Amino acid sequence: MDYASTSGTLGTPVTFGLTDKDLDRLAYNEAISLSCGGIQKGDVVQLMTTIDRRFMAGLAYFLGIRRLGASIVRIGAGIPELQWDSINSYHPKYLIAVPSFLLKMIEYAEKNNIDYLRSSIKGVICIGETLREQDFSPNLLTQKIMEKWPSIALYSTYASTEMSTTFTECEYKHGGHHHPELIITEVLDEQGNALPLGELGELTITTLGVEGMPLLRFRTGDMVTLYQDKCPCGRNTIRVSPVVGRKQQMIKYKGTTLYPPVLMDLLTEFTQVENYIIEISNNEILTDEILIKIGTHTPSEALKEEIANHFRAKMRVVPKIEFYQVEAIEKQLYPKGSRKPVKFIDKRK
C-alpha cells in the first residue's frame, strides 16, 4: 500500500491507502487529464510541487507524466532561482505549479534580468487555486499573470485526495472535463436531492475502480455547477465549473452570503498586500464576524480605507481589517505539519 492523506483544511487529515491497482488508476487518470491540457509524449514537464509528505497529487503528476511518455524535471515547490535555473537547463515546455507562485517567478525574473517571455514555457497546469470566474472568464489572479506573461496558456484543474481523479480544462477553458470511466459525479442540494445540470450545489462523487478506499456518494463540500453542452474541443463529457467555495466555509455577514474565494479575489487586486489570513468567528449574538489580517510592507490608514472602500463597492459590506508584518503572517500561513498555506481560519462555534 502507498499511504496518502488529505490536507486537513477542515480538520484532521484523513489517510487513504492506495493499492498497486489504485496507483495504476491514478497514473491513467493523470495521463488523460494532462493530455487534456495539451501535454504530449516527448514533452518536458517541470513539476513544481512536492511528491512526498503523503501528498497524493504530486505523486499523481509524476505517474501521469511518465504514463504519457513525457519527461519530468522534479524540482518541488518554491525557490524561484532554482526553478529558473532548471528552466534554462532543461527547457521544459510545461510547468505544473500553484498559479500565484508564477507571480513570484516573474518578479524574480524581472529583478535578475531573465527574459522569461523568451523562455521555453508554453503552458502551465495550475493547481490549488482557481483561475476562472463562474462565467469562465479570467479571474484577477489570471489577469495579473497574463498581463505579465501573455505568451503562456494557463490550465485550471480541480481534484482531491478523496476522488483520486482530476478534472482539467481543455484549450477552450470552459470547465474541467469529467472522466466517466473513473468517477460518477452529482450535484446535490442541502436535502441530498440531485440537482439538474446548470444549478449550483454540492459536488458528490462515487469512485470507480478504486480498491483501497472506494467511496459511495461522498459529499465533497465543494459548491459547483455541472455542464454538459458539447465542448468546442469535441468532448461530450460533463464539465465542472470553478468552485464557488466550501459548503462548511459559507459566511453570512450582515445579511450577505459569502465564500472565502470572493474575499481572496478582492485582496489579489492590491499589490501592497503581500499575504493575508481570513479569520471567521462568532460575536456575542453568535452571528459571523470577518477579520482580515494583511501582511504588508506599507501599512497606512489610507491603504486600509482604500481596501475597505473596495470591499464596500464589490460586496456591500466591509470586514474588519488589520495590518501585520509580512513575516508574522507567513509564519501563521504554514502551521506545523501543513502542506499548503492556511489562508482561512474558522473559529465559529
Say what the pLDDT of residue 96 is: 98
Say what the pLDDT of residue 9 is: 60
How many Å separate Cα 143 from the centre of its chain? 16
Q: Residues of 37-66 as b/e, b for ≥16 C-beta within 10 angstroms?
A: bbbeeebbbbbbbbbeebbbbbbbbbbbbe
Say what the pLDDT of residue 97 is: 96
Mean per-residue pLDDT over the chain, rounded: 92
263/307 Cα distance (integer angstroms): 11
Q: Which residue shows C-alpha cell 513539476? A: 47
Q: What tens digit of pLDDT does each residue of 309-322 get? A: 999 888 888 899 99
Cα–Cα nearest to 38, from 153, 165, 150, 178? 153
49/61 Cα distance (integer angstroms): 9
DSSP per-residue string spanning 214-256? --SSEEEEEEE-EE-SPPTTS--S-EEPPP-EEGGG-EEETTE
Q: What tens digit of pLDDT does each residue of 14-35 get? A: 899 999 999 999 999 999 999 9
Residues 258 and 244: beta-carbon distance below 8 Å: no
User: What would the grid cell of residue 276 be?
Assistant: 493575508
Q: Where are the alpha helices (DSSP H) in the chain?
A: 20-36, 56-68, 80-90, 99-111, 140-148, 260-268, 301-315, 326-333
The strand pair at 320-324 and 44-47 is best described as unpaired
Say what the pLDDT of residue 257 is: 75
246/243 Cα distance (integer angstroms): 8
User: Using 50, 70 and 90 to split pLDDT, how confident is the model at 338?
Assistant: low
Domains and CATH numbers, the chain: 2-176 (3.40.50.12780), 250-346 (3.30.300.30)
3-class secondary structure, 47: strand
Whole-number percent of the chain with pLDDT over 90:
73
How much is the average pLDDT of 149-161?
Answer: 96
- pLDDT over threshold 70, residue 11: no
Top-ranked range on mean pLDDT: pick from 31-35, 75-79, 158-162: 31-35
Task: Mean pLDDT check: name the lowest of 88-102, 118-132, 145-159, 246-260.
Answer: 246-260
Q: Is 142 left (phi over 0), alpha (psi -120 to 50) or beta?
A: alpha
Residues 49 and 97: beta-carbon distance below 8 Å: yes
This model's pTM is above 0.85: no
Say what the pLDDT of residue 173 is: 96
Q: What tens digit of pLDDT does each residue of 265-285 get? A: 889 889 899 999 999 998 876
DSSP per-residue string spanning 306-319? HHHHHHHHHHS---
Say what the pLDDT of residue 337 is: 64
116/254 Cα distance (integer angstroms): 45
3-class secondary structure, 270: coil
- Taken in order 270, 145, 138, 188, is the CA torsion positive or negative? negative
Say what the pLDDT of residue 217 is: 95
